Amino acid sequence: MTGETVSVVIPAYNAARFLAEAIESVFAQTVAPGEVIVVDDGSTDETAAVALQYPDVALLRRENGGIGVARNTGIAAARGEFLAFLDADDIWPAGRLAALLARSGESGADVVFGEVIEFGERTGEREPTPGFVAGSGLFRRAGFDRVGPFREDIKVGEFIDWWARAQEAGLRVETIPDVTLRRRIHTSNTGITESGSRVDYARVLRAALERRRGS
């Protein structure tokens, strides 16, 4: 199995400070992806200019709609058999794509997750933990489409919602012990800047409970 089957989607909003490091971590993989799509979600900084420095990156621009909308925009343009996600302020460790592809090929899983290391200027580097987050996984497109796109009406919790629906849909999931995402902790993280939207987590939980009652 080769990286040519993988489409990488990077949603970016005012991410000029970190975007180059994120993109370069994708191109530093031992297995190169088939395409890299950066979705500029209505940034007001130099995010688009940074993306344009990389001729092998496809840049899509749209009005600001949030991370769910941005990811869905990239997914709609993606052509690969697999989807991989990377937030513009995070980093992929070297070899993560090869490791995830290998397990996916061996198992036939719909989704394979690795472990996550959180790091930051103030927090230092934490110990690896199992990472059921978008950026730590590799998603078979057919399985992803069975679940459907990310919710676009919430600012936070969009992956928690998708993951709940994936479990309900019976997607086959595997994990590997490798670190597949380095997640940067900083003052511009969505969970901090959108702290007023944390009610969205309650909406996600309520929706999951209502689906279970209706099944």
Return all residues near 26 (Cβ < 8 A) that are at least 6 apart. 8, 10, 33, 36, 86, 92
One-character DSSP codes across 34-77: SEEEEEEES-SSSHHHHHHT-TTEEEEEE----HHHHHHHHHHH
Instruction: Supply the mean pLDDT for the chain.
Output: 91
**pLDDT at residue 163 in the model:** 96
For 6, phi then psi, to 5°, come to -105, 130
Tens digit of pLDDT for each residue in 36-50?
999 999 999 999 999
Instruction: Give the separation between CA 45 and CA 53, rounded to whole angstroms.
Output: 15
The DSSP 8-state label assigned to residue 150 in this structure reads: P
Position 122 confidence tier, pLDDT thresholds 50, 70, 90: confident
pTM, entire model: 0.88
Tens digit of pLDDT for each residue in 75-104?
999 999 999 999 999 999 999 999 999 999
Position 4 confidence tier, pLDDT thresholds 50, 70, 90: confident
CB contact at 8 A, 79 and 146: no
Token pair listed for 210: 């209502």
User: What total of structural domains would you count in the chain?
Assistant: 1
For position 69, which CATH number holds?
3.90.550.10
Domain range enclosing 12: 3-214
